[in-house]
Structure 1
Amino acid sequence: MSSFRPHGPFGPLVPAVTSSEWLKRKPLGYKDAAEKDSSEKDAELCAEESELPEWAKVSKEEYFRYENMFCGYCGSFYDQRQKGQYSVCSRCGAKRDRFATGPLMESHAVLDYGEMKVWMKNIIDEEEGKEKKGDKKMALVDEECPKCKNPRMAFWTQQLRSADEGQTVFYECQKCGYRFNVNTSGRRGFSGAAAVVERLRMIRNIGVFAHVDAGKTSTTERMLLHAGEIGQPGSVDRGTAQMDYLRQEVERGISIRAAATTFKWADYTINLVDTPGHVEFGAEVQRAVRVLDGAVVVIDGTAGVQAQTRTIWKQTDHLPRVIFVNKLDIEGASWETAVGSLSTALPQSISQPVMIQYPLLRLGGGIRGTVDLLTRQGYEYRGEYGEVMSEISVEDKDDLDGVEKARAELLETLAILDEKFAEEYFGRGEMSAASTSSAIRRQSVSRALVPVLFGSAVSNIGIQHLMNSIALYLSNPMEAARDRHHYLPDPLAEGTVIEAFKVIPPSTDPEEEERGNVVYCRILSGNVAAGTRLRNRTREREGEYETASGVYRVKASELHPRKVLLAGDIGVVTGLQNIRSGDILTGVDGEGSMSGACEAIIALRKEDAKASELPGVCFTTFTSNTRDNDERLRIALQRMMLEDPSLDFKVDANTGQFLVWGMGDFHLDLLRDRIETEYQIPAKMGDLRITYREYLSEAFALTSSSPGHDLDLSMRFMMSVGPTRDLPVLEEGEEAGEGAYVNEVDIVDGVDAETTLPEELKAELRELLCDALTMGPLKKSRMAATHVTLSDVVWKAGHDSSGDTAVLKDEVIRMYHCLMRMAKKKGSIMVLEPIVQVTISGPESIRGTLSGAVRSELIRNRRAHVDPVESHDDFTCELVAYVPQSKMKGYAAHVRAATGGRTTLQAVPIGYTEIDLDTLNDELYDDF
């Protein structure tokens, strides 16, 4: 097995090794006497051997030998008893699996020998009553102080009122004195509370993101291999990839749906979500991003940053990230070009990509190994799957110069970003690997820095280093909650909150029908078990809740039953029917104890989910061959909508055909394919049509006052309709942010509380107006970015309350249509068409073709706005155009023919812009 032992703030991270190999390792923080400064020597002298009991008298050699038997909870050293497969600490009761590799707790690994003696002496002093006034039993851990950002805090215990109640655990900053109680979710004993915090600290919820064909799925397959989850890596080309298990994914060689899996790496639990790379599944990616705490961005070493990479960078900008430059074994790959594109081609961000490795190349090209810039140690990857990492010396002068230059850049960047690191760096110059790794972690978690690593997934190079970096440099759920406290509830808080990021409806298989929907979700706080009652807060209905029938851990396509899913976990819940992807659910039993801050987070996440929903940009007809199959097709489409909210459908009242909306022809073609294979329904898809929208360019208002049919009825309100916001000018580079085209409905009560609308009636009126906004007055297309306000409402029902409610609804709709007629008459309604950003990249040799024939075709025949051709780097050029979706038919084939197949084309839907009515009518006439 590997002899690789990376340095980090949490101690050694290793793949599974034998016990004999493990016992040969020495503590991370240990320094020889020559390396210690005077303060460290003084600290060691103050813990005299004579002051310690027999069990604590440990030589340095014994400390090395029994490193993994040091209890990180209370400081006891090798005073343990065996209980089955566990070693149990005799002092505090903490336990660890004897057959697992790695330490009991990460905190011990950052102590050098002298620090360990001082820590144990403090514990002993307290037990024997020798503690000085003001001292506490404190164990230093890598927990950042929320107040002063001190990276290491102490935890200590306090006895509660009675022995039965146990102890409570505090974290206290010894720098500023800030203290907080760990037991925020109920009173636990010391070891139990610390175990909860420790479990969360060892979780990484990550996603893997990449442009199509950058090697994303191959990378995840190698990660599963080295984690021991699979015996050999699957292949995208052979259709054996573990994470691509849909038949369509196997046949087409791409990821279509977000797949999740859980595995162990050293002592860390990694919940991994493998996301689609194709642009038409952007909504799938967006929903996955919402439940993650970190991201791995895979870059194609032969192409660098591409159009879809920039989209991914924007989607993940709120997360700590690690970059993996892949495919460096392929002829023509250039790590310098790929790294250069990170600086020049990625969207503006607070995150700065910085190399923490240097790639070593073979004489003829292609990567053969890497150098760890923290230690200057070189590594080669041998064995059938690169499982043996051998330490090598770097002898080539060019490589040595490159390593020193890259290391200097890393250290200088850290000195600029990290104040603590700067003090040590400018004071000493040469930095230890542990200090450098700690600084990288601090800046990575704060999103100021993005570590960059190198390798080749197919050639099994660099994967173990990537996994170590995931564990060392990406956030755990507690850090993520602190960094995004307005968006993520504290995982230690009371009350259960979960978010569903994927709903897979059952197929026609009887076993799947019985199990029902498979809901992939993130447990944001609390826990979920079979029998937990959950309320859907996104589709809330008064008094309604559902009961989870089962909870599972996910291993790609396999579900493994669990007793409970805890805060920070990603898993599957079954038994829920009233649910769609992106919904927020809360536990019914803990709603009373949920804090106001948590309620605010739930409301914000609901709004964010609604704003991020992407409406379909095109539609087509679906038909079946019999009336019975029509009903089966309707059920299949309804189930598909649960899984993918970017799909929508309705039945045409005149023809009886199903009109289905989606994000593109590829998206809709896959839908038809899945209906045929999973539901055995022969479905025929018609020609693609474009989804237009309508937009109000100015506001209109009217006041209604009607007594209705009952003299006791009092009803008055003012209605206004207008634009929610100005439309972005896409051709000038303005971005359509989330919710740019979302319609809004507001109902504002009058001042008299006795004549205000009941909340139930308000909800009915909102639904009524939202339905009305689905059909505009010009082309019967859905309205976009339109705001309807019902204000100064006065309503007092008479004797016939149900009849009066109907009168109010009729009057509201009458007023809405009246306002729309006014806007149409004044010419204030515009028709919008979907726009696609087309990026064409190729070698500098085809610059003339791009500037000439390709650009001319776009302007003359495609109604496109085209930017000048620019150099992407020293080797490639790039053309960006904004093309109406209606003009994209056959364009990819045209570009391939014009450039001899030497380009890559990326088309991303980016929003809507106005189309002239005459042009629209001409194109609609040509279609028919």
Structure 2
Amino acid sequence: MHILNIGILAHVDAGKTSLTERLLFETGVIDRLGSVDEGSTQTDTGEIERRRGITIRAAVASFTLGDLRVNLVDTPGHADFVAEVERALGVLDGAVLVLSAVEGVQPHTRVLMKTLRRLRLPTLIFVNKIDRMGAGEREVLADIRRRLSPYGVAMNTVQDLGRKAATTHGLPPHAVEEAAEVLAEHDDALLELLVDGKTPDLQQVRAALARQCADGVAHPVLYGSAITGQGVADLLDGIATLLPAVRQPDPGRAPDPARATVFAIERAPSGEKVAYLRVRAGVLRAREALTFHGGQGRVYGGRLTALAVAGAPRRRVAVAGDIVKVRGVPEIRVGDHVGEPPPDGQAYFSPPSLETVVRPRVPGQEPRLHAALLALAEQDPLIGTRTLAGGDTSVLLYGEVQKEVIGETLAREFGVEAVFEPSRPIYFERPSGTGEAVEEIRRHGPNPFMATVGLRVEPAAPGSGVGYRLEVDLGSLPHAFHRAIEESVRLALREGPHGWPVTDITVTLTRTGYDAPSTVAADFRGRTPIVLAEALRRAGTTVYEPCHRFEAEIPLEAFSAVTGGLAALGGELDGAVRRDDTWVITGEIPAAVVHEFEQRLPGLSHGEGAWWSEPSGDRPTR
């Protein structure tokens, strides 16, 4: 048996969930098509998803094509839920990127494709909605080659484009030759045929396309309609023949230690955690003792009380390639691993750049609200929370829609009505230099803490986070005291001298002392923040603001107005390229003003400007 785990990705409203329904219908998994408008789709199961008509949580559905089992991961299309997409990417063998034949390449489509190409994840492009008025074919393919991939290769064509009767057909001879010319840049055999004046046949072109698609170089483009079903057979054929499947081992012949990645978590009606894992090696069985590895060195044991294999409900063991749904491990979190984590683990999208303060509408429900937010953060690690001075709680966000969904989830699932302040950018601090401080045990006079602590702070490499190391002998203190100091350092760094989290810093413990048996761990927890604050004061810190990389396509006559508007908001240009009757300008802009400039752009560009941006880096505040 072969298995293929693929993701369906798209800009919001491109028809991604409708396509998922159509694939399940065409392969016999469901006997009637669900509707996004009616809230009856298979993968949007949450009440909020059904009512809003958007996908919020990644969902898994399965179908078979001959001896190939396909696990279909339907991911969110709205940019506010990009964290869900990020987690799905880590468990996929391939992807289908959906775009609309009417709207063409949209901003979030470009963000997704940039990531897919960077990962070289084999990807098919499905151009949906060919039956809609205003649909394009050749112009959409040109847009794909210009904005997404220069090696987009059409694999079918459309008749009666833009009408309800639109149908898809195989490539005519001239289109086969055009596809060969695109692929010949990375295929010497095709290039030799073309140089000799020969036209490769369709089978030779498909074989070359399959190789280049598997390498993440070329991207097959298929036209169709999720509503009418046209082109879906071509897409299913492409999934089966152009994306690289995994041959699954016999469970009795999988000697490697079990390795798996947790990529999603949900709560059962009983409140029990239910986790989704992609098995990478070995065998997973229910009731078997497992070792889990989490972030920041967490290691814990667990025993699965239930295990269900996606697409194979009767099977009680999971092998490499499987996606499984498990229960019984209360400590489990998204991003944890069974066995050692893969060596190439990384984040593909930038972390959230917005923050909002949230309070309960009913005074006195603060503890209940805080517990609910912690539960949500377990399902989505990038929904970070922190306690601010004064006791308020802040939540990290990608956008306003995510804020609205969090509010609805708190009310519906936890019974807490929340009030959110206007969102603001997430600033942070980095040390400007090196600083040291020491507080000794005072043998005489007032001494609230019976502990000696010395700390040195110094800058670390951007993106490295918080580093902690010892310059004292590990045996100089009991282990509990060492743990109290390190935990206090990490907690205190959540709010630096200017009120923002401190990052990209190395903190070194330079001196310790205690008075047995008087000293307790609480003495170190009380003294450490005081010493750290003094060391940071001496080092100095600089506040940084998050920025977005942007690209704008504007009419020639709008150049001065648009660049002037960007400069007024702190934007900086680093490139301008003229293309026919437009300018394509690139640069950097503070995240805090991205939404404001997007609202101004239509007026500055006579309604003809196109904007794309994504979180990217930071710079000192001005």
TM-score, normalization: structure 1?
0.58
Kept after mapping to 2: 8 A contact 1:693/1:783:
yes
Q: How many residues align?
A: 611
Unaligned runs of 5+ in 1: 1-198, 374-402, 482-490, 587-598, 726-739, 917-928
- Shift of the 762–280 alpha-carbon distance from structure 1 to 2, 3 Å rule, reads farther
One-letter amino acid of the counterpart of residue 123, structure 2: R
Number of the residue aligned with 2:178 = 409
Cα distance, 1:520 vs. partner? 1.6
- Shift of the 234–893 alpha-carbon distance from structure 1 to 2, 3 Å rule, reads farther
Kept after mapping to 1: 8 A contact 2:495/2:501:
yes
Q: Please state if 1:665 is matched with 2:387.
A: no
CA–CA distance in structure 2, aligned partners of residues 210 and 283 of structure 1: 14
**Residue of 543, 563, 577 corresponding to 1:831:** 543
Q: Secondary structure at the match of 1:768?
A: helix
CA–CA distance in structure 2, aligned partners of residues 227 and 873 of structure 1: 45
Kept after mapping to 1: 8 A contact 2:310/2:322:
no
Q: Deviations over 1:858-900 (max 9, x none)?
A: 544x4444688877787x8767675434445666665567789
Cα distance, 1:289 vs. partner? 0.6
Q: Within 5 A, what are the aligned runs for 1:794-833? A: 800=516, 803=519, 816-824=532-540, 829-833=541-545
Q: Which moved more, 1:432-441 or 1:278-287?
A: 432-441
Kept after mapping to 2: 8 A contact 1:613/1:645:
no
- Shift of the 542–272 alpha-carbon distance from structure 1 to 2, 3 Å rule, reads closer
**Residue of 144, 149, 153 corresponding to 1:342:** 144
Q: Please state if 1:359 is matched with 2:157.
A: yes
Cα distance, 1:454 vs. partner? 1.8
Number of the residue aligned with 1:722 = 459
Cα distance, 1:464 vs. partner? 1.3
**Residue of 449, 452, 456 corresponding to 2:221:** 452
**Residue of 479, 488, 501 corresponding to 1:782:** 501
Q: Within 5 A, what are the aligned runs for 1:521-920? A: 521-539=277-295, 544-554=300-310, 562-586=315-339, 599=340, 601-602=341-342, 604-605=344-345, 608=346, 614-627=351-364, 629-652=365-388, 654=390, 656-697=391-432, 699-700=433-434, 702=436, 719-725=456-462, 740=463, 742-747=464-469, 765-777=485-497, 779-784=498-503, 786-790=504-508, 800=516, 803=519, 816-824=532-540, 829-836=541-548, 851=559, 857-860=565-568, 862-865=569-572, 882-887=588-593, 908-916=614-622
Q: Secondary structure at the match of 2:166?
A: strand
Q: Within 5 A, what are the aligned runs for 1:275-424? A: 275-317=75-117, 318=119, 319-346=121-148, 353-362=151-160, 368-373=166-171, 403-419=172-188
- Shift of the 907–808 alpha-carbon distance from structure 1 to 2, 3 Å rule, reads same
- Shift of the 233–892 alpha-carbon distance from structure 1 to 2, 3 Å rule, reads farther
One-letter amino acid of the counterpart of residue 411, structure 1: A
Number of the residue aligned with 1:520 = 276
Cα distance, 1:476 vs. partner? 2.5
One-letter amino acid of the counterpart of residue 700, structure 1: T
- Shift of the 889–303 alpha-carbon distance from structure 1 to 2, 3 Å rule, reads closer
Unaligned runs of 5+ in 2: 444-450
Q: Deviations over 1:112-131 (max 9, x none)?
A: xxxxxxxxxxxxxxxxxxxx
Q: Within 5 A, what are the aligned runs for 1:117-196? A: none
One-letter amino acid of the counterpart of residue 127, structure 2: V
Kept after mapping to 2: 8 A contact 1:499/1:583:
yes
Cα distance, 1:277 vs. partner? 1.7
Kept after mapping to 2: 8 A contact 1:355/1:406:
no
Q: Deviations over 1:828-884 (max 9, x none)?
A: x32222334566668x6xx75x54766655544x4444688877787x876767543
Cα distance, 1:334 vs. partner? 2.3
- Shift of the 568–634 alpha-carbon distance from structure 1 to 2, 3 Å rule, reads same
Cα distance, 1:541 vs. partner? 7.6
- Shift of the 761–327 alpha-carbon distance from structure 1 to 2, 3 Å rule, reads farther
Q: Deviations over 1:36-67 (max 9, x none)?
A: xxxxxxxxxxxxxxxxxxxxxxxxxxxxxxxx
Q: Secondary structure at the match of 2:333?
A: coil
Cα distance, 1:253 vs. partner? 2.5
**Residue of 416, 435, 443 corresponding to 2:212:** 443
CA–CA distance in structure 1, aligned partners of residues 334 and 299 of structure 2: 22
Q: Which moved more, 1:659-668 or 1:461-470?
A: 659-668
Q: Secondary structure at the match of 2:19?
A: helix
Q: Which moved more, 1:243-252 or 1:540-549?
A: 540-549
CA–CA distance in structure 2, aligned partners of residues 723 and 231 of structure 1: 58
Kept after mapping to 2: 8 A contact 1:867/1:880:
yes
- Shift of the 420–707 alpha-carbon distance from structure 1 to 2, 3 Å rule, reads farther
RMSD: 4.1
One-letter amino acid of the counterpart of residue 344, structure 1: R
- Shift of the 703–642 alpha-carbon distance from structure 1 to 2, 3 Å rule, reads closer
Q: Secondary structure at the match of 2:278?
A: strand
CA–CA distance in structure 2, aligned partners of residues 249 and 873 of structure 1: 42
Number of the residue aligned with 1:32 = none
Cα distance, 1:323 vs. partner? 1.5
CA–CA distance in structure 2, aligned partners of residues 622 and 805 of structure 1: 32
Q: Within 5 A, what are the aligned runs for 1:202-217? A: 202-217=2-17
Q: Which moved more, 1:699-708 or 1:300-309?
A: 699-708
- Shift of the 631–783 alpha-carbon distance from structure 1 to 2, 3 Å rule, reads closer
Number of the residue aligned with 1:463 = 232
Number of the residue aligned with 2:446 = none
- Shift of the 683–746 alpha-carbon distance from structure 1 to 2, 3 Å rule, reads closer
Q: Within 5 A, what are the aligned runs for 1:22-33? A: none
CA–CA distance in structure 1, aligned partners of residues 476 and 127 of structure 2: 60
Kept after mapping to 2: 8 A contact 1:356/1:372:
no
- Shift of the 865–428 alpha-carbon distance from structure 1 to 2, 3 Å rule, reads closer
- Shift of the 312–641 alpha-carbon distance from structure 1 to 2, 3 Å rule, reads same
CA–CA distance in structure 1, aligned partners of residues 299 and 147 of structure 2: 51
Kept after mapping to 2: 8 A contact 1:357/1:370:
no
CA–CA distance in structure 1, aligned partners of residues 416 and 523 of structure 2: 44
Q: Secondary structure at the match of 1:745?
A: strand
One-letter amino acid of the counterpart of residue 790, structure 1: T
One-letter amino acid of the counterpart of residue 620, structure 1: V
Q: Secondary structure at the match of 2:372?
A: helix
- Shift of the 216–901 alpha-carbon distance from structure 1 to 2, 3 Å rule, reads farther
Q: Secondary structure at the match of 1:316?
A: helix
Kept after mapping to 1: 8 A contact 2:130/2:166:
no
**Residue of 255, 258, 262 corresponding to 1:500:** 262
Cα distance, 1:276 vs. partner? 1.3
One-letter amino acid of the counterpart of residue 818, structure 1: E
- Shift of the 579–764 alpha-carbon distance from structure 1 to 2, 3 Å rule, reads farther
Kept after mapping to 2: 8 A contact 1:298/1:326:
yes
**When you count strand as a share of all residues, which structure comes out higher?**
2
Q: Secondary structure at the match of 2:495?
A: coil
Kept after mapping to 2: 8 A contact 1:619/1:691:
no
Q: Secondary structure at the match of 2:76?
A: coil
Q: Secondary structure at the match of 1:545?
A: strand
Kept after mapping to 2: 8 A contact 1:414/1:421:
yes
Kept after mapping to 1: 8 A contact 2:457/2:507:
yes
Cα distance, 1:462 vs. partner? 0.9
Higher RCO (C-alpha under 8 Å, 6+ residues apart): 2
